[in-house]
Structures are given as C-alpha cells and as structure tokens.
C-alpha cells in the first residue's frame, strides 16, 4: 500500500467529481486506447472528426484510473474540442495539460500523461485507418506521450508474466 501523500488540487478534485465529456461515443470517427488495467490506468478516447475540415467536433473518454487520470482525461477532451487535428497534435502537450490542470503530484505523472498519449494515438490512428498519408506536422516517430503510454503497456506485460502461474483461481 502506498505511503505517498497525494494532495490533489481543487481543479483535479472538481474534474474528478464532475468529469466533462464522459462516456462512450457511438458515432466516433476514431477510438484509441492507452494503458492497461494491469497497471491500474487505462483510457478509451473517442474523437468525432469533421473529415472535410479535420476539426475535432467532439471528444469523449472513459477511464479505468485514479483521480489524476480521470481529471487529466477530462481536461484534454475540453482542450481539444474545436481544434484542428494539426493544432491538437502540436499544441496539446503534457506540459500544457499539467499547467492547465494546475499541476499533479509528481508520482502521478504516468497516470496523467496517459491521457495525452491516448489523444496523440487517436490522431495517428485516424490517418492510419483512413490510409491518408501523414501530413508534414505528424511525425513518423512516436511523441514523448505516446512513448510513455507504450512504456506503461510494456510494463504491464512484464508484470503479468511475473504473476504466479501456480496460484489457483478463486471464484
């Protein structure tokens, strides 16, 4: 059990209590998942994209995660609404999101960065799924936030392998 104090700020608490843009989106243009429930953090990110203008018309999320994860996901969906994919890709960085949310306890970095990783992954997925060539602003190489999400997912795999195979399952 943790012994690390977690003094969440009022903005985080407000978004934890009243998350915006929560829930599954049935008519999403693209759906991206980041994290793994084995690590205790997983986000599903839904984007409704106007394919003519490449503007994000709607963004929603679902989160299996802690208060920091929920609050960060919520604020990202608010920050990107109405942005073009290009602007969302370039402007919405981990640093900008943490500033917007008023800071997170440092130990919560991996929970928060996942929301930005999910966004970047959704944007990349949009071009992949539509088989549209990457525009010049979209790097082939993974962004910092996508790498963080990948790292967490790899860690979950390693942890799952280390689990006891001999322990019997209980009902």
Partner 1 sequence: MVENVKELLKLHESITHEVYLDNENSTIVPQEVLDAMLPYYNKKAYGNPTLTHKPGWEAFETIMGCFGKISKYMGAKNLEEITFTPSETEANNLAIMASCFAQKDKGKKIVISEIEPINVLQVTEMMSKFGFSTTKIPVNSEGFINLEKLKEAIDSQTVLVSIAAVNNEVGTIQPIKEAVDIVKTKNPNTLFHTDASDAYGRIPLNVQQLGVDMATVSSFKIQGPRGIGAFYLKEGVNLERILEGPIGTQKLWPGVENTPLIVGFTKASELAFTDFEANVAKLRGLRDKLVDGIFNELTDLRFNGPKGDKRSPDNANISILRCEGEALTIELSLKGVYVSSGSACSRRLLQPSHVLIAIGRIFEEAHGSILMKVTRSHTEDDISYVLDVLPSAVNRIRGIVGSTGVH
List residues with catalytic annotation. 39, 111
Strands 30-36 and 55-64: unpaired
Rounded least distance, CB 77 to partner 1, Å = 13
- Say if CB 23 and CB 62 are below 8 A apart: yes
Rounded least distance, CB 66 to partner 1, Å = 4
**H-assigned helices in 18-171:** 67-80, 85-91, 94-101, 109-129, 144-162
Residue number with CB closer to partner 1 (113 or 138): 113
Burial of 100 per CB tally in 10 Å (0-12, 13-18, 19+): middle
Please report, as ranges, the residues that interact with partner 1 according to CB under 8 A. 1-2, 4-10, 13, 16-17, 19, 22-24, 33, 37-44, 62-67, 69-70, 105, 107-111, 152, 155-156, 159-160, 163-164, 166-170
Rg (CA), the chain: 17
Backbone angles phi and psi of 74, in degrees to 5: -60, -45
Residue number with CB closer to partner 1 (44 or 54): 44
Residue number with CB closer to partner 1 (108 or 120): 108
List beta partners, residue 146.
none
Rounded least distance, CB 46 to partner 1, Å = 10
Rounded least distance, CB 2 to partner 1, Å = 4
């Amino acid at each position: 059990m943790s012994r690390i104090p977690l003094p969440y700020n009022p903005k985080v608490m407000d978004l934890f209590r009243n998350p915006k843009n929560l829930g599954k989106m049935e008519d999403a243009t693209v759906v991206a998942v980041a994290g793994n429930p084995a690590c205790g953090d997983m986000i599903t990110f839904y984007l409704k994209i106007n394919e003519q203008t490449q503007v994000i018309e709607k963004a929603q999320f679902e989160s299996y995660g802690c208060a920091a994860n929920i609050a960060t996901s919520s604020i990202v969906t608010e920050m990107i609404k109405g942005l073009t994919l290009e602007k969302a890709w370039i402007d919405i960085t981990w640093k900008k999101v943490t500033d917007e949310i008023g800071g997170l306890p440092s130990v919560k970095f991996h929970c928060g960065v996942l929301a930005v990783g999910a966004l970047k992954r959704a944007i990349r997925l949009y071009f992949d799924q539509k088989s549209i060539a990457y525009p010049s602003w979209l790097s082939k190489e993974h962004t910092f936030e996508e790498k963080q999400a990948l790292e967490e997912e790899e860690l979950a795999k390693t942890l799952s392998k280390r689990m006891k195979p001999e322990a019997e399952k209980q009902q």
